[in-house]
Structures are given as structure tokens and as C-alpha cells.
Structure 1
Amino acid sequence: MKKNDTSKHGAGQDPITPGEAGTAQDSTRNTPQAPAPFWTGSRGQHIRTVVLEAIGVLRSEGYWVGRLDEPELPFDLVGILDKAIMFVRVVRAKHPVDNALGVAHYFRDEILKIQPFWHHDSDNYQFWVFSKVSGLLRYRVYRGGIWNEVTRKAPEKKKPGREQTGLKMRTGQGSAGQTGHVYLPDGSPA
């Protein structure tokens, strides 16, 4: 049998070598292959699961999302919504983290890499933590530290309670005078 004999493979078809079975196409028909999903990369490249989850969150909020592969940049994603641009670094917490203090403690090095990029209040650099305790924690990174994005938009309500009066408070505006007595809002002495 000659090398160019195609009787074994059928007329009009290219022979398939072992290892090419999944990628071979029929040469007589140029059938397009399905586009690759957004989470596939080049061979040997691993995309972290938290990055895929963050992509889903940003897309659900209406952002156009791009993944950054540059090792010199401390960001995983860029999100664009209208004219607003947001750069995001995403991590998964290995420790029980539920507030900014814990995030700043466990992820200090990552936050310090992002802080030099901040120059103006309009800069939107965010640090996201997927925590088993609290779910997704979103922090905006400034030169001086981080700020929770959820409480920045709607500050937490303070619980009503009794005010404690100190020595300095007694001499301030609205105090009872020089005697040091404190008066309640209805005018009666405390």
C-alpha cells in the first residue's frame, strides 16, 4: 500500500493521524467550530476559579469584562461600564475574613501593590475577597487604605443609645453650664 493511498479513509477525506482526532475537519466542507467560552486560555494557562466568579459578577452588573495577563500589573480584571473603568484584583480568603481589618491584615502585600496606582478620587481600583464567612467583600483601594464599597454608598446606621458624657463634653456647646450637671432633652436634670 502506498503512503498517498486514501482507499482506507474514504474518497475526499484527509487521513487523520492519532492525536488529531479531536481537531480534524473535513477538507471538503469548511465547518466552523464553536467559539471558545470566555474562561479558556492558551494551553498550560490556568485561570483561577475566583477570577471566573468575579467575571460572572461583573457581567451580571452590566460591565464589559477583560482579563489581564500582565505579570507586572497587580490586577486580574478590567471592567468597563459606559465611560467608567474599574480595575479589580480578586483573591479567595483562606482565613475567616469578614471585615476590612481582616482583609488589610491577611492581604497587606496585595493591597500595597495596588496603592501606588491611585492618584485621584475618580480612580477605581478594587480589591475583592471571596470569603467563606461573608461571601464577596468588595473594597476600593486608595493611597491611604481600603474602603468597603457597600458601606461607602449607604453608611451603616448607628444604633440608638445613651450618650456618654465626659469632662470635655460638659464644657462644650449645649452643656448644662459651669456646674457640670447634665440635662435631659426635656429639660429635667439627669
Structure 2
Amino acid sequence: MHAHHPALIIIDMQQGMASPAAGSRNNPAAEHQIAALLQAWRAADATVVHVRHISRTPGSPFWPGQPGVEFQAALAPLPEEHVVEKNVPDAFIHSGLERWLRVRSISKLVIVGVSTNNSVESSARTAGNLGFATQVVADACFAFAQVDYAGTPRTADEVHAMALVNLHGEYAQVVTAADVIDALSRP
């Protein structure tokens, strides 16, 4: 593995996220972009980390043993790729991820996955606060529609855009898949 390349952190790309029961979402091409990034990282022999949510709530689609907890087949980890299991939105909390990255001298991260305003945003904030040079790939993340605190319905695009602006410049750099694939190919 090449430690000078950033690690690709793929968050919660599990079967339960593809279920219509998950709600109205944006960026239907996110899985395609994540697959393109995964292919580029594998071709570069760069570090890939797959994060999956294991719920502590009985009945959750992410409860152990439920089909929803399994990785989406097209994005499933290879045996040599690291898998991190988490029980809260933030991939760094109680997971050993920070130590795993530091032991390998990895200081740059590219974060993708779901949902932009929950696990992606939470993990990217922590990564930035821990001093990792962090990028979030806008077109390789997606969010779900929500009602905001004031009771106003917000589209998935609005939720996604707000989460990205919360991160950009302070915790992470928001980029596109083409940006990071291009940077990965440069020496």
C-alpha cells in the first residue's frame, strides 16, 4: 500500500441504505462514483477502508444478522481491505480507526458514502479536528430528505448541500470524484 496516497474511507454503503424504506434521497449516481473511486484506489494500490454501521437498536435494518447490514455487492471489501465497524455515526468513535491510520502513517483521507449530513459529516469533522488532511467527495455522497428544526421540509439536495457547506474550509475540502481520481494518478 502507498502511504503517500490518501486513504479512501467508504462510509455505510450497506444494503439497508439502498432500500426504498430509507427515504427520498439525492445523487442517484453516488454509487457509480464510489465504484469509480474504489476502482482507482485499487489500481493505485492505495489504502481503502470500508466502514459499516452495526446498530444497537433491535429492529434496525443495521442490526447484526439482518440483510441491511451487509455491504452492497458492487462495493464490497476485498479480503486485504480494512473494515471498521461502528455503532454511532462517527467512524472514529470507539472504532480504532484513528490508531489504524496513524500506525500506517496515513495523514490524508478521502471520505465518501452516506449519509452526507450524518455519518459522513460527523466522521469528516472528527478527521479534520484530529489533523487529517480531509477531502469529502460531494458527488460520491448522498443524503435523505428531512424536516428541519423549524418544521420546514427540506429536500435531500438541500440537506446534502448544507452538510457540505458545514464541512468545507473548516474541517475538510469538498471536491468531486474527478478531482481526487486526477490527483491520485499524479506522482
What TM bracket, shorter-length normalisation? Answer: under 0.3
**Per residue, is there more helix in 1 or in 2?**
2
TM-score by length of 1: 0.23
TM-score by length of 2: 0.23
Larger Rg, first or second structure (1 or 2)? 1
- Bigger relative contact order (CA 8 A; separation at least 6): 2
